[in-house]
Each structure stands twice: as structure tokens, then as C-alpha cells.
Amino acid sequence: MKKFLAKITLFAITSLILISLSSVLTYADSSAAAVAFTKAFDDLEDCIQEEKTDGSKGDDAGYLVTIIYEPLSIEESKTKTKNKDEFEARLCYSNTLSYTLPKKSEKVKSRLATDCSDKIKNGDFEADDYKEYKVTASCKAVQVYLSKGGTTLLLNYISTIYKWAASIVGIIAVTVVIISGIQISLAGGDTQAVENAKARIVKSLSGIVVLFLSGLILYTINPTFFIK
């Protein structure tokens, strides 16, 4: 009986030691992985520089920063007033890396940079060494607006929406005119088809005129509306 109890005790002690060693190794592995994930963006340059490495103010300090992750269009431009940048539209890249460490919740690391991380581009975290961490890495282009005030931001955002909508409307109107012209040439003696095609052409041309006049009115109100 004593030998049996001794064996049970020895087995229990051995199991505890193995579990402890496993925990230590897992923790060490997790720490190494965490360091690798943290260094994933070391090759990047911050897209927004509000503070320099020495603690002084960066070039973007004092600006109201707005990040649009699903922009209508992406452009880079500046608006100056009295030789001072009042508004800037900037192209940036949102680098995101999400992963889970053993027995821990999901962690997400992200950085807004001037380019995509080389490690994300090359798929460095798709190797078998990182499979257990369920790594998801992505990099996407985003539109960043920097403005000196809310009014400036609003006006420039309206300008962006207007130009995007105007381009879509213009393309649709021209396409309708072309298709209607082809329908007229192929209508033969079908007067009804010709009349319908002519009506569509008139409506499309009217839309283009309204679009032009609205742009003219906006330019009259604010001459810098279309200038960036």
C-alpha cells in the first residue's frame, strides 16, 4: 500500500512539473511571438506626424485629423490661405495585425503609415510557425483629411462629394446620349422609338447643363471650392 501511494505521489509530482514546464515554454513562445508581432511595423513611417521622436511638435501638430476607411475616392491635395496650409487630403495605409496568444483574448495592432508593411506584403505571418496564433494581417489605402477647423473640413468634404457625384452623373448622361443616338440611327421607320430616344437625349443634356450651372454657382460663392 505504501509503495502504491508513493507511486501515485511521484506521478502527481511529475505531472505538475511537466505542466509547469509546458506553461513556461508556452509563455516563452507567446512572448517571442508577441515581440515579432510588435516589430511587424518597424519598417514603416507614420503617415500622421503630430510629434517628433525628440518630443517636439511634428509637421501635423494642430490639425484636425479625419480618417475615412471607406472613401468615395482617394486623392492627395492641399488648400492654402495666405501661404498657410488650411486643408490637406492625404493618402495613407492602414496596417492591421490581429492575433491570439494561447489562452488569451484576441489582440489587435495597427499603424497608419505611408506604405504597407513589408512583412504583411510578403505574408511573413502565414507560415506554419504562426498558425496557432490565428494571425490576420491586412493593409488598405485610406483617405486622411487634415484641417485647421471643422468648417474647412466640411467645405472640402462637400467639394469631394460634389466632384465624385458630378463625375458619375456626367458619365451616365454621356452614355445615355450615345446609346440614344445609336437607337435613333437603328430605329428605321419606328417613330415612337425615335421620339423616346430624343426625349432621353434632351433630359441627359438638361442634366449636364444643371450640373454645370451648379458648379458655376458654387464657384461664384467660393472661388476656392474646386481648387486644392
Please state, in angstroms and rounded to a whole number, the distance separating the CA atoms of residues 122 and 105. Answer: 26
Range with lowest mean pLDDT among 56-70, 115-129, 154-168: 154-168
Q: Tell me: pLDDT of 141 over 80.
A: yes
Task: Give which of 153, 161, 163, 166 is closest to 89, Cα–Cα.
Answer: 153
Domain assignment of residue 45, yes or no: yes
Domain assignment of residue 54, yes or no: yes
Give 26 or 130, the one with higher predicted confidence: 130
pLDDT for 60-76, tens place per residue?
888 888 888 888 777 77
Bridge partners, 137 (sequence order) = 97
**Do residues 157 and 197 share a domain?**
yes
Residue at which a domain ends, from 133, 148, 163: 148
Name residue 99's amino acid. Answer: Y
Residues 85-99: b if buried by 16+ CB within 10 A, e if exposed: ebbbbbebbbbbbbb
Rounded to the nearest 10 degrees, the angle between the axes of helix 191-221 and helix 150-186 is 160
Number of folded domains that form the chain: 2
**Do residues 129 and 208 share a domain?**
no
Bridge partners, 57 (sequence order) = 51
Share of the chain above pLDDT 90, in %: 5
- State mean pLDDT over 133-152: 86
| pLDDT at residue number 89 | 86
**Do residues 109 and 65 share a domain?**
yes
**Do residues 174 and 202 share a domain?**
yes
| pLDDT at residue number 20 | 43
Sign of CA dihedral 23, 29, 35, 41: negative
| pLDDT at residue number 81 | 52
pLDDT for 11-21, tens place per residue?
455 544 444 43
**Do residues 205 and 132 share a domain?**
no
Name residue 167's amino acid. Answer: S
Q: Which domain holds residue 201?
A: 153-221
Residue at which a domain ends, from 148, 173, 191: 148
pLDDT for 165-190, tens place per residue?
888 888 888 898 898 888 888 877 77
**Do residues 49 and 141 share a domain?**
yes
